[in-house]
Amino acid sequence: MKKTVILGALTVAGLAAGAAGAATLDDVKARGSLNCGVSTGLTGFSAPDANGVWQGFDVAVCRAVAAAVLGDPMAVEFVPTTGQTRFTALASGEIDVLARNTTWTFSRDVDLKFEFIGVNYYDGQGFMVPKALGVSSAKELDGATVCIQTGTTTELNLADFFRVNNISYEPVPIETNAEAQQQYLAGACDVYTTDASGLAATRASFEAPGDHVILPEIISKEPLGPLVRHGDSEWGDIVRWTLNALVAAEEYGVTSANIGELSAAPGNNPEINRLLGTEGELGAMFGLEADWAKKAIMANGNYGEIFEKTIGENTPIGLSRGLNAQWTEGGLLYSPPFR
């Protein structure tokens, strides 16, 4: 019920905002900063550090866009949004880009009048259980109590999964991830379910991570991506190709270490030349400088570098690339050609 009301309100909102959004690029340039909506706090994806500087995987997208458009990765005003406020903030023009681990779904794209510009992280919903429970598959969870965040797609996926497998469960509704951790550790629920990345981060923070297992079943597709408003395709293009540039840079071996050298003069790989603006005029086509992609990549490195720095295997979260590897390495990352 609550969800329907919110969706209804958002639909009206989306209609109203369609008229409002135009020439976001000019607004951003005039303002001198990018307004970027992020999560109020999601481990590895967006969180302020001790100095109040936002860090994380989603944050890096904002910084890359700011670098491409304004030449300064720090020229970002971060607007912390909650699950309830994120879409209104974007629809009403309070933010230019929403990079907040938002699942790309049909209704959000079509009905809410947004434009998902790509996927920066392929996630899926998983289950975590204590090892002591002796469960090895989610299908053995008949009658289990499940901690679940309310108002998210995970809630719906969970219901679908249990119905399809004809088993029952008892939901324990919780509001935040932190609450879920405490409830789960205190034994209020047998199972905690959320996106697999979130489960990994949660498990990493436990005293004894080895006592808990993440079950092999991934019950949903959660392509998380940045999104912009409908109606300003030029702006959508800029954000989309900034993300593509980060992905392509990894594919072509452009890193923050060698980018200075590669962009100094045209090399023998025309694709890299076009990407870095030493050849052709890709930047000018959407009203940016020729070296827009170079700046975007220099902000935090290419996609792989960002991944390693924020959520990769060397961080406490320790996510492996999995689906988020390049297509050449069996993953789903595939940037259209820069041509």
Partner 1 sequence: MSDTHAQTVAFVRDTMTEQQEPPLSQSGAYKWMRENLLSTPLNVILTLVSVWLIYSVLSHVMPWAVFGIWDASSLSECRTIRDELYGADANVACWAVISERWKQLLFGFYPPEHYWRPVLAFVLFLVAISPVLFSSLPRKLLAFSVVAPFILFWLIWGGTIWGPICVALGFVIGWAIIRYASPYIGALGSVILAIVVPLLYWFVLAGPLDDLLASILPIGLEQVQSKQMGGFMLAMIIGISGIALSLPLGIVLALGRQSDLFLINKCSVIFIEVIRGVPLIVWLFTASLLLNYFLPPGTNFDLMLRVIIMVTLFSSAYIAEVVRGGLAALPKGQYEAADALGLDYWKSMRLVILPQALKISIPGIVNTFIGLFKDTTLVVFIGLLDPIGLSNAIRASTEWNGIYWELFVFIGLCFFIFCFSMGRYSLFLEKKLRREHR
Q: Does position 92 bind partner 1 by CB under 8 A?
A: yes
- 107-to-7, 14, 89, 111, 298 alpha-carbon distances in Å: 9, 12, 17, 5, 35
Q: Tell me the window of 48-56, 60-68, 120-128, 279-287 that interacts with partner 1 (CB under 8 A).
A: 48-56
Instruction: Report, in Å, the least distance between residue 224 CB and partner 1.
Output: 16
- C-alpha triplet 40, 46, 50: angle, nearest 5°: 90
Helix (H) or strand (E) holding 3: helix 2-20
Place of tokens 């290419």: 302
User: Do residues 13 and 42 lie in contact, with contact meaning Cβ atoms separated by under 8 Å?
Assistant: no
Nearer to partner 1, 229 or 295 (CB): 229
- CB-count exposure of residue 289 (10 Å: 0-12, 13-18, 19+): middle
x/- mask, partner 1, residues 248-277, rule CB under 8 A, reads ------------------------------
Q: Tell me the window of 40-48, 58-66, 118-126, 210-218 that interacts with partner 1 (CB under 8 A).
A: 40-48
Q: Does position 12 bind partner 1 by CB under 8 A?
A: yes
CA atoms of 248 and 244, how far apart (whole Å): 6
Instruction: Report, in Å, the least distance between residue 204 CB and partner 1.
Output: 7
Instruction: Report, in Å, the least distance between residue 173 CB and partner 1.
Output: 16
User: Do residues 24 and 34 lie in contact, with contact meaning Cβ atoms separated by under 8 Å?
Assistant: no
Among 7, 11, 71, 93, binds partner 1 (CB under 8 A): 93
Q: Does position 77 bind partner 1 by CB under 8 A?
A: yes
Sign of the C-alpha dihedral computed for residues 68, 70, 75 and 78 taken in this order: negative
Which residue(s) pair with 26 in the sheet? none
CA atoms of 270 and 186, how far apart (whole Å): 57
Q: Does position 152 bind partner 1 by CB under 8 A?
A: no
Q: Tell me the window of 120-128, 171-179, 217-225, 274-282 that interacts with partner 1 (CB under 8 A).
A: 171-179
Looking at residues 184 to 203 of the shown chain, list those that interact with partner 1 (rule: CB under 8 A). 201-202
The site for partner 1, by CB under 8 A, has a size of 46
Q: What is residue 85's three-state secondary structure?
A: coil
Among 146, 306, 317, 333, binds partner 1 (CB under 8 A): 317
Place of tokens 């100094």: 264
Among 204, 213, 290, 298, binds partner 1 (CB under 8 A): 204
Among 107, 137, 150, 205, binds partner 1 (CB under 8 A): 205
Q: Does position 176 bind partner 1 by CB under 8 A?
A: yes
- C-alpha triplet 191, 193, 199: angle, nearest 5°: 105
Sign of the C-alpha dihedral computed for residues 314, 315, 321 and 326 taken in this order: negative
Among 107, 168, 182, 320, binds partner 1 (CB under 8 A): 182
Place of tokens 């020439």: 23
Site residues, partner 1 (CB under 8 A): 9, 12-13, 16-17, 20, 39-44, 46-52, 55, 77, 79-82, 84-85, 88-89, 92-94, 176-178, 181-182, 201-202, 204-207, 315-317
